[in-house]
């Protein structure tokens, strides 16, 4: 399984958003990005995590960062998630785990001889040159925002 670390080039991908727009990571070239992978829109922990990002969106923007959330949910589920939680950042649908696999944010399983995946809750801080400056796997949502902002502060 891929595990990205500080200094690695962030893999490019293209996914559909909850607004039916296609985004590639390359669309955010020359922008600092916080990219986070979460398992299920609407679940209690994922909702807490998304609300934490939303409540701190201004802090990230002040530091020059755009927040992007990625999950295996379909576009409709992401629309409902955005609306019910009043989220103001990009949500991307990755039902085939394409970006998840590129970032090492997917765990492979075999069930009844069929390959399936589950999300490894992960967060990445990317600089404007698409370099990873922080990679966190198996992230604990409690205290995550403060840790990310500390990492961002170290980059300055």
Summarize pLDDT for 67-123 with one digit per residue, the tens.
999 999 999 999 999 999 999 999 999 999 999 999 999 999 898 889 999 999 999
- The contacts of residue 56 (CB under 8 Å, 6+ apart) are 145, 149
Residue for token pair 């609407």: 42
**Whole-angstrom Cα distance, residue 118 to residue 68?**
19
Q: Which domain holds residue 58?
A: 14-155
Residue 2 lies in a domain: no
Residue 147 appears among annotated catalytic residues = no
CATH number at residue 72: 3.40.30.10
Q: The pTM is what?
A: 0.96
**Tally of structural domains, the chain:** 1
Summarize pLDDT for 21-78 with one digit per residue, the tens.
999 999 998 999 999 999 999 999 999 999 999 999 999 999 999 999 999 999 999 9
Residue 6 lies in a domain: no
pLDDT score of 154: 86
Nearest residue to 39 via CA among 48, 30, 31, 27? 48
Residue 71 CB neighbours (<10 A):
25
Residue 68 lies in a domain: yes
Residue 88 lies in a domain: yes
Among 25, 33, 46, 125, which one carries the catalytic annotation? 46
């Amino acid at each position: 399984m891929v595990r990205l670390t500080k200094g690695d080039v962030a893999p490019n991908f293209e996914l559909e958003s909850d607004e039916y727009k296609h985004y590639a990571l390359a669309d955010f070239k020359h922008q600092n990005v916080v990219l986070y992978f979460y398992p299920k829109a609407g679940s209690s922990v994922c909702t807490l995590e998304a609300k934490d990002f939303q409540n701190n969106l201004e802090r990230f923007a002040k530091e020059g960062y755009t927040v992007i959330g990625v999950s295996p949910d379909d576009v409709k589920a992401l629309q409902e998630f955005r609306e019910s939680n009043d989220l103001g950042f990009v949500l991307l649908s990755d039902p085939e785990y394409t970006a998840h696999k590129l970032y090492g944010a997917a765990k492979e399983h075999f069930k009844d001889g069929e390959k399936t995946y589950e999300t490894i809750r992960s967060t990445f801080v990317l600089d404007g040159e698409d370099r990873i400056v922080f990679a966190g796997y198996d992230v604990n949502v409690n205290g995550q925002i403060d840790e990310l902002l500390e990492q961002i502060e170290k980059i300055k």
